A and B are shown apart, each in its own frame.
Chain A
Amino acid sequence: MEPLIRMSNISKAFDSNVALDDVSLELASGSVHALVGENGAGKSTLMKILAGVVQPDGGSIHRNGKAVHMRTPKEALEYGVSTVFQELSLLPNLSIAENMYLGKEPVTKLGRVDCATMESLTANAIAELGLDLDPTTLVSELSIAERQFVEIAHGITADADVVILDEPTAALNAADVETLNRHIRSLRDRGKAIVYISHRMEEIFEICDTVSVLKDGRNVDSCPLSEVTQQSLIAMMVGRDINDLFPNKSVGTGESVLTIKDFQVSPEAEPLELSVHKGEIVGLAGLEGQGQRELLRSLVGQHQPHAGSVTINSTSLPIPVPQTGGIRLLQSMGVGFVPEDRKDEGLFLELPIGFNTSIGLHSSKSELSWAQGHHKTVAETMSSMAVKAPSADSLVSSLSGGNQQKVLLGRYLASEVEILLIEEPTRGVDVGAKAEIYQLLRDFTDSGGAIIVLSRETIELIGLCDRLCVVHDNTIVSEMPAAEATEHKILDAALGTQTSAA
C-alpha cells in the first residue's frame, strides 16, 4: 500500500556541511513514527523539509503517491503537514487565542477579526488537551509546560493528516506527558500519521510503533519498534556498541578538592551541597533550564548566586565570584572552565590551533613578558588528544567539530589545571571523537584531576560519570552512583516531586 507520505533520496547541505545525504522516510496513516538519532544527525533538518521551512537540494516528496513541493510552511500546511517545533515560537505579548490563529484569524462579515469565534475555538482545542486555560490569557503569563501545550494545540488542531512533534516533552512532567500521549493515541486512531522526535527512550517505546534511525545525515534503519530493544536502538544511533563508547569508571577517589555548601543559585532556591573528589567525574543531570548551568557558571562569576560558600583545595572562594576577573581567579586556583558554545565562547576560529592552545598559558602571564612559542606543549597536546590537522598552524575553523572540541579541551589540559568544569563536553561531535574525548577526560581524572560535567545527553552522563547529581528547580534533588543510574531514574528525579502549574 502506498504510504501517506514518502520522502525519497532527500539531500541537503548547508554551505559545505552535508546535513542530509540520500535520506528516505515513509509515514503510514494511523502510525506513530519515532525519528531518532544523535544531535546533528539530521532529524530536525528532515522535518523542516517536510514542513516547508527548508528546501531540499535533491530528492522528492510524495503524498498518497503524488509528487508535492512544499516551498513554504503555509504550503506544507495546505498539504496537511503540521509541525510543533522544539523551539518555543509563541509570541509572549499576544493571548493564547491570538497566537493560535496568528495569520489565519476568522473574520466577521464586516472584515473585522472575529474574537468570539477565535476564543471559543481555542477554548475547545485546549480543553481537548485537558488544559483549563482562559484563551485571552497572555502567553507571557503561562508556565513553560503550559506554553508547550499551547504550542502542541496550535500544531495539532490545524486539521492536518501529518503531525510532526519535535521533542514535545522536553518541558513536560510525567502527568503532562501522559495527557499528551493520550492525545497522540487519539490522533493515531483517527488515521493520522505522527512523527515523534525525542531523546527519551522510555517515551519512544511507550507511544511509538515504528522507528527510523538517522546518523550523520544518513538512514541507518527503519523498522517496527517491536524488533528493537533500547540497547540496540542506542547502538544504532551512536553507530557502535555502547560499552565501547565509554571508558571505565573511576579506579578510586581521593580527598575532596571542591566543596560547595549552603549554596543558593537564586533567592528562592533550596540550599544545595556538592563536593568533588580527586579522580572523580561528577555529572549534573536534569531537564533543561533547571539551574545546572547557573550552578556551574556561578563558580566562575558568570552567574550571580544568592548565597553559599565554595572551597577549592581548602582555599575559600569569594561569593559572588567577580564577573570580570572570575575566570582568571579560578585559573590561578587550578580550575578550568570549558564553555558550552565552542564557536562563540570557546575558540578563536580564524586563528591557528597553536594560538588556541597556548592562549591559556599566555593569559595568566603579565603583558610585558616574552611570549613563548610553547611549540612543544602544543605539539604534545595535539598528539595526546589525537587532533587531526595538517599542523599547529591550521586554522581552527578548518577542523571538524570533534577536532575543534579537542582543541578547546586541550587548551585547559595544557594549562595544567586540576579541576575542570565542563559544559556539554561533546556537543556536535561525531561518535568516534566522542569516545576519544571521554577517554581523555577519564585519563585526566585517573592522573589526579577532578571534573564536574554538565550535559543534555543523559546517556552520556551515565556512561561517563562516576556520580550523578540531578538538578531540579535550582537545587540538587537527588544523587546517585552513575553505575546504578538509568534514564528512567534520572527522569523521575529530574521531574521533581511537585507537579508544575499545568
Chain B
Amino acid sequence: MTAAVKIPSSSKAARETLLSRAAKVPPAYFVFVILLVTLWLTRPQMININVMGTFIRQVAPLGILVLGQLLVMRVRSIDLSGAGVVLIINYVISSGILGDANAGLLVIVALAIGVSLGLVNGLLIGKRRASAVLVTLAVNTILVGVVQFLASGKPPGNVPDAFGDVYNVKYLSLPSPVIFWIVLTGVMAVFLSRFVFGRHVSSVGENPVAAHFSGVPVERTVIIAHTIAGLMAGIAGLVQTSSLGVGSIRFGADLPLEAVAATILGGVVFGRGDGGVWGPFFGVLSFALLFVVMTSFGVPDAGKLIARGLIIMLAATYYGLRTNS
C-alpha cells in the first residue's frame, strides 16, 4: 500500500522525532555524565588530570580494541578474538622467542600477527560466510591454547624496557597511551567519515543486499573491516603488554565482552553506526570512570565485577531496544 497517503498528525510526528532523536544519543554519554556528576558531588578532589589520567590509561587497550569492534559491528559482524590476539602478542614480546630482537622489530611482528589474524577472520566470515561469533571465538580459543602450549604453564618473562619507557611518558600531564588512543580514535573518525571506505561500511551495515546492487564490494568491505580490527587488536596488545611490563598467560579474558558492551553503549549496534567513533570512545571512558567511582567509594573487587556485569547488561538491553525498533 505504498501509494497511500500519510495521516496528517503533526503532534504525533513531532513526538516521534523527539523520541527517536533521544534514542539516537548513545547511552554512553548519559552514563559518562552521571558518573562524572556523582564523582564531582562526592569526591571532587578526584577530578584531577593526574588521578584521572592514571585510571584512563588503564582502559586505553580496551579503547583501541573497541575501534576495531565498532568497525566490524557496523558491517554486521563481530570480533570476539581480541583477548587471544592480545595474549599471543604479550607472549611473543615477553618470552624472548625472537631472541634479541629490538623493540621496533617486535612492534612490527605484533602488528603483523594482528593483521593476519584479522584477515583470517575476515576471509572465513566474508568469503566462506561462516558465523562471525563462532569463527572469532574459535580463533580466540586456539590462540589461548597456543600460548598455554608454548609457555607450558609458566609465565613467560619480562617485557623489554623500551615498552615501559614509552608507556610512562607524559605530555601536558596526559599519559602517552591516552594520547595515542585519542589520536587513533581521531584517525578512525576521519577514515570513516571522509574516505570511500566509510561509505561502503555505512551501506553494508544499513542493507547488504542494496549495497551489493549499488555496486559496493560487500565481501571485500567485510574482509577489510576484520583486517583493520585485527590491526587494532595488535595495537591493543602492544599497549596492554607495555602496561603490564611482564608476560602473563592469563589476562584479558573479559576484553572482547567489554569491547562489545562499550561499542553498544556508544550507540553502535549491528549495522548501525549512530554513535560514530566517539560514542564508543565515551563508552570506554565510562568503564574507566565507573572504576574510579567505585574505588573512591571503597567497593571491593567482587562489587566492581557485579557493577561491570550490570553495565554490560544495560548495553544488551539497549541493543535489544535499538534493533527491535
A interface, CB within 8 angstroms of B: 13-14, 16-19, 21, 38-42, 45, 216-217, 324-325, 327-328, 331, 337, 339, 344-351, 355, 358-360, 362-371, 400-401, 411, 427-430
Contact = CB atoms under 8 A, between A and B. Distances in A.
Contacts, number: 132
A176 B2 CA distance: 33
A359 B4 contact: no
A328 B215 contact: yes
Contact of B203 (A17, A19, A359): A359
Interface stretch (B130-138, B157-165, B216-224): B216-224
A362 B198 CA distance: 10
B296 interface: no
A19 B196 contact: no
Nearest to A344: B209
Point out which of A337, A364, A371 has the most chain B C-beta atoms below 10 A from its C-beta: A371
Contacts of A346: 210, 213
A342 to B, nearest CB: 9
Interface in B112-171: none
Interface in B1-33: 1-7, 9
A174 to B, nearest CB: 31
B214 A324 contact: no
B185 interface: no
Interface in B71-112: none
A367 B213 contact: no
Interface in B283-309: none
Interface residues of B, number: 35
B1 A45 contact: yes
B203 to A, nearest CB: 5
Interface string B187-222: 000000111111110110011011111111111110
A348 B210 contact: yes
Contacts of A324: 212, 218-219
Given A349-B207, A362-B199, A367-B196, A40 B1 contact: yes
A159 to B, nearest CB: 32
Given A344-B207, A355-B202, A411-B214, A428 B3 contact: yes
Given A355-B199, A359-B214, A16 B6 contact: yes
A114 B220 CA distance: 59
Contacts of A40: 1-4
B7 A18 contact: yes
A39 B224 CA distance: 43
Contacts of B211: 348, 359, 363
B119 to A, nearest CB: 15
Contacts of B6: 16-18, 400
Contact of B213 (A17, A217, A327, A427): A327
A23 to B, nearest CB: 12
Contacts of A38: 3
A345 B209 contact: yes
B200 A362 contact: yes
B196 A429 contact: no
B2 A350 contact: no
Contacts of A370: 194-196
A428 B200 CA distance: 28
Given A339-B213, A371-B198, A371-B199, A350 B206 contact: yes
